[in-house]
Amino acid sequence: MGRLAGKTALVTGGGQGVGRGIALALAAQGAAVAITGRTERTLKDTAAEIAGRGGRALIVVGDVGERDDVDRMVARTVGEFGRLDVLVNNAQSSVQRALEQTSYADVELAYRSGPLAVFHAMQAALPHLRASRGSVVNLGSSAAVQGEATFAAYAMAKEAIRGLTRVAAREWGRYGIRVNVVCPAALSPAAEEFFAAHPEKAERVLSAIPLGRMGDPERDVGRAVAALVSDDMAYLTGATLMLEGGRTLIG
């Protein structure tokens, strides 16, 4: 049956990488999962994998940077499955440049697809999460926590998401809704492409991880998210979990 049997989850950016891993792990624990994104092909692939394992999946093509699309994602999920218990805000677009080269357009892209998308999704989901006393997981990043060079727009967006998460945790606790952040380090297609282009950076990153490896999107990140949104973690809210094998230690 799984610890999430009878529950419904919505995962943005669920067609590949960490989002795909989270969607697969939630489905493995019994949740019906709606996955959203801009590329229908990757969404179909993830949905087919979930169905092949005996789970239930819905795909909704759309752009989290568009408020109408976000509203439609939530409405389709509830229309198909009848409820919403878990919202995972994973989707994020950004470009990587030195601070002095970062443009307003770069920042706007990161904010529209990041904190504004999270803000819109949380507002759209709130009535349904109140009914289910559900859980929200927002994706942050150690690049923002640590202030890594060349991540100006991305770091701004991700730390804005963490701030929004803490506010929501305080305001929505009275509804029984938990809101947390996870900062993962996993071998998504984007991470693999970046490391292939910057092998020296990849070596430095791996050497800084006490567990000695990058995480697996499903086994290391997805299963942790599944545990986080389950009743096993019912007393945790407003937290930032660094799922990075010990690379970033914060107090």
Q: Report, as residue numbers or ranges, the catalytic residues.
A: 154
| Residues 22, 225 contacting (CB under 8 angstroms) | yes
Residue 69, exposed/middle/buried by CB under 10 A (0-12, 13-18, 19+)?
middle
Between helix 104-113 and helix 115-132 the angle, nearest 10°, is 10
**Per residue in 155-192, is it b (16+ CB within 10 Å) or e — as a string?**
bbbbbbbbebbbebbeebeeeebbbbbbbbbbbbeebe
Main-chain dihedrals φ then ψ at residue 204, nearest 5 degrees: -65, -40
Place of tokens 């109408």: 68
What number of other Cβ atoms are within 10 A of residue 74's Cβ?
Answer: 25
What Cα–Cα distance (Å) separates residue 218 from each residue in 24, 99, 108, 123, 186?
7, 33, 30, 27, 9
What number of other Cβ atoms are within 10 A of residue 101's Cβ?
Answer: 10
Residue 79, exposed/middle/buried by CB under 10 A (0-12, 13-18, 19+)?
exposed
Q: 32: which strand partners? A: 8
Q: Where are the beta strands (DSSP E) in 135-229?
A: 135-139, 178-184
Q: Could you tell me the two tokens for 144?
A: 């923002």
